[in-house]
Amino acid sequence: MTAARGVLLCPITMGLLLQSLFLLLILLGSCLHPAAAFPKGCYPSEEAGLKTFRCSNAQLTEVPRDIPNDTNKLYLDSNQIPFLPRDAFRDLPLLLELDLSHNAIARIESGAFQGLAEHLHSLDLSSNRLVSVSKDAFNNLKAKVNLSNNPWLCDCRLQELIRAVELAADSSGGIVCDSSPQEEHVGKAFLQVIAGTDFCNVYKKTTDIAMLVTMFGWFAMVISYLVYYVRQNQEDARRHLEYLKSLPSKQRRSEESSTISTVV
């Protein structure tokens, strides 16, 4: 009797064990699924109570899309990201720190940091390939920005950008002129250069001079045309008078009267 019960209980026990194992696998799968969706080399963590997402040295060539939207600190440093498209971080409303240093970023589209203005307080763009960036790319951004160690073109555009953002502490000395309209500025810190040169004022003066030259050119053309027109009319009038003189007296007087009345 006992043996019979053992035979009956064995399949039931095995069934329960298999069912439990199946449920456990489902639970493990659901827990591991978000991590499996992350790009290779990226992982979430928690640092000092802040939710962090690290993708350092992950060989990324673009900003990943599967970043948890409750991330507070995002590390995308030491990758090969070439540019930042519009709305690249729009799904990260709680982001406080963003590290994009040591990438290959050469272009930042307007609106790339859209949605980060309220909370972001640190943005690191150092050691990239930035040459020229419009100040509009940083519209309403209150974060302290590190722009050091980039091959900057020192001109009015960079001057406007520096005035539009708040530079991170001790980073201003690393903003160096890699190229400039004035050769003597190359290799110098930009803040040192603009202490004695207003690039935007120089540009404005150059533009004003170009406009004056253009206006003078048009004025000279108009004057030349008027002189030509007057001379041509004088020549026509002289020829007409000579023609009148060659006519018989009566006909000449009639023609002269007609000419005089026309002139009047």
Mean pLDDT in the chain? 80
Cβ burial, residue 48 (10 Å; 0-12/13-18/19+): exposed
Q: Does domain 35-197 have CATH number 3.40.50.300?
A: no
Per run of 10 residues, the mean pLDDT along the chain (length 264 residues) is 45 55 48 60 94 97 93 98 96 96 97 92 98 95 97 96 95 96 93 91 50 55 66 69 63 53 45
Question: Contact 84/61 with Cβ under 8 angstroms?
Answer: no
Q: For the chain, what are the domain ranges?
A: 35-197, 198-233
In this structure, which amino acid lies at residue 135? K
What is the model's pTM?
0.65
**What is the pLDDT at residue 203?**
46
Structure tokens at 113: 């940091």
Buried b / exposed e over 56-70, threshold 16 CB at 10 Å, is: eebebeebbeebbee
Closest Cα to residue 92, out of 130, 58, 118?
A: 118
**What is the pLDDT at residue 29?**
45
